[in-house]
Amino acid sequence: MYRTIGVLGGGQLGRMMALAGYPLGVQCLFYDPSSEACAGHVAPLLAYPYEDTHALSQLAARCEVITYEFENVPVESARWLAERVPVRPTPEALHAFQDRLMEKQTLQAHGVPVPTFAPIDPQNPRTALEVVGLPAVIKTRRFGYDGKGQAVVKTESEFVEAVARFGAHLLIAEAFVPFEREVSIIAVRGLDGTFAFYPLVENHHREGILYRSIAPAPNITPALQQQAERHARALMEALDYVGVMTIEWFECNGQLLANEVAPRVHNSGHWTIEGAHTSQFENHLRAILGLPLGSTAPKGYMVMQNILGDLPDPAKVLSHPRAKLHLYGKAPKPKRKLGHITWCFDTPEERERFLSEALH
Ligand code: AMP
């Protein structure tokens, strides 16, 4: 007999959540518009449009709590479900982070530092430019991810051209941040309000897509870790948030500026499966089920690398004794996240040697 939780979205994050649930006697029931969703390979899947209230009612009837592994679920569907069964985190938290403007405003309202930003008024786009200055980053407010729907502009004419190119989309302008590196924190808040934080992770992107995470990030001062935790705590408390939340940051002169919030488990937390005492997936399940949170302490020095576009030769990957291979059962497609590899080392020096010799 399993306890059943409903999960909106059925991608690889859900798949890893389901795998984390089984040892706890928890089964995920996925809901995704695509019958091919890869979480459906490991747990039951309801394949219906998000707006189908008849199918949503089946989900609500079968689950004790509902969560998400994907943030672009229509908030109306999450609200509809929340009237019938607990939805954690709340639909309001989901809503706050679906739109980049609302996201920045929410962060700012709770004292979390963000890059200077302004909404772009299509009638008068230059006003936003006056606020943020040049160079700037133009982003679509919704449905942008993995670097999609954004452009860096260095001149006023590039700005005007980019705004025209995005056409009808609602846009936001941000000051370009000359950051030293990108880091993220995975935070989790239990149903009883207790917190747990994973150590900051250093993230490397290629063409806007997360490519590699180094966890824990090297050269993190206790002050920087505390800064990230303090802001995550303030935000989660204000939203009465339950579950895992991820905040991506720019590190700039010893300060953190928030770039993005994911109201869910995150790609930069995949290392926690082998590399932490409790994975982000298990801690998310524990949180939404009202169970005590598990230790977030790392077990070593990890490197996580995404498998993008092409499948590797598994024998070659596994010829490294510290490699753990995860394939999501997805068909290869350019830039698609097909899996990831985590290497766990006992010392920072071993990890450093691996990064400079085996990987480049
Ligand atoms: P995003 O989709 O917002 O996570 O942006 C994708 C990537 O674009 C980030 O990981 C950064 O490398 C870069 N980026 C986004 N916003 C800014 C910014 N305001 N200043 C500098 N780089 C940025």
10 & 60 share domain: yes
Q: Do both 288 and 335 map to the same domain?
A: yes
Orientation angle between helical segments 100-109 and 222-238, nearest 10 degrees:
100
The string of pLDDT tens digits covering residues 217-230 is 999 999 999 999 99
CATH number at residue 55: 3.40.50.20
pLDDT at 123: 87
Domain-located, residue 282: yes
Same domain, 125 and 267: no
Last residue of a domain, one of 66, 87, 108: 87
Q: Are 306 and 345 in a shared domain?
A: yes
**CA gap 129, 292 in Å, rounded:** 47
Pick the residue whose CA is nearest to atom 10 on ligand 1.
208
Domain check: are 170 and 253 in the same one? no
Same domain, 227 and 298: yes
**pLDDT of the residue at 146:** 63
Q: Same structural domain for residues 143 and 197? A: no
- CA pair distance 263, 271, nearest whole angstrom: 18
User: What pLDDT sits at residue 145?
Assistant: 64
160 and 194 part of one domain: no
Ranges 10-19, 135-144, 180-189: which has the least confidence: 135-144
Query: pLDDT digit string (tens) for 81-103?
Result: 999 999 999 999 999 999 999 99
- Choosing from 135, 151, 175, the residue where a domain stops is 175
Distance in angstroms (rounded) separating the CA atoms of residues 267 and 271: 9
Backbone φ and ψ of 285, nearest 5°: -60, -45
Give dist(CA 327, CA 64) in Å, integer: 29
Q: Of all residues in the chain, what percent carry a pLDDT higher than 70?
A: 98
| Residue 59: Cβ within 10 Å count | 23
Q: Answer yes or no: is pLDDT of 360 > 70.
A: no
CA of 96 to the centre of ligand 1 (A): 19
Strands 26-31 and 45-46: parallel
Same domain membership, residue 190 and residue 256: yes
Domain of residue 326, CATH code: 3.30.470.20
Q: What is the CATH number of the domain that holds 160?
A: 3.30.1490.20
Question: Alpha-carbon torsion 334, 340, 346, 347, what sign?
Answer: positive
- pLDDT for the residue numbered 49: 98
- Pocket flag, ligand 1, residue 32 (CB < 6 Å): no
Domain contains 106: no
How far does the centroid of ligand 1 lie from the alpha carbon of residue 81, in Å?
A: 33
Ligand 1 center from residue 105 Cα (angstroms): 17
Does 149 reside within a domain?
Answer: yes
Confidence of residue 166 (pLDDT cuts 50, 70, 90): confident
Mean pLDDT, residues 27-54 = 98
Ligand 1 midpoint to CA 307 (Å): 21
Residues 19, 167, single domain; the answer is no
- Which structural domain, as residue segments, surrounds residue 204? 181-357
- Cβ–ligand 1 contact at 258 (below 6 Å): no
Q: Are residues 190 and 143 in the same domain?
A: no
Domain assignment of residue 136, yes or no: yes
Q: Would the CB of 229 count as within 6 Å of ligand 1?
A: no
pLDDT computed for residue 149 by the predictor: 81
Q: Which residue has the higher pLDDT, 122 or 255?
A: 255
- Note the pLDDT tens digit of each residue in 129-158: 999 999 999 999 998 766 678 999 999 999
Residue 167 is predicted with a pLDDT of 77
* Closest residue CA from atom 11 of ligand 1: 208
Structure tokens at 183: 């880091």
Kindly report the average pLDDT of the chain as a whole number: 96
Indicate if 120 and 194 belong to the same structural domain: no
Establish whether residue 135 lines the binding site of ligand 1, counting it when its CB lies within 6 angstroms of any ligand atom. Answer: no
Residue 100, in any domain of the structure: no
Distance 259 CA to ligand 1 centre (A): 7
Number of domains in the chain: 3
* Most distant CA pair in the chain, distance: 63
Rounded-to-5 percentages of helix, strand, coil across the chain:
30, 30, 40
Domain assignment of residue 95, yes or no: no
Last residue of a domain, one of 125, 159, 175: 175
pTM above threshold 0.85: yes
What's the average model confidence in pLDDT over 11-32? 98
Q: Is residue 274 very low, low, confident or very high in pLDDT (cuts 50, 70, 90)?
A: very high
pLDDT digits (tens, 9 = 90+) for 309-319: 999 999 999 99
pLDDT at 168 over 80: no
Residue 103 lies in a domain: no
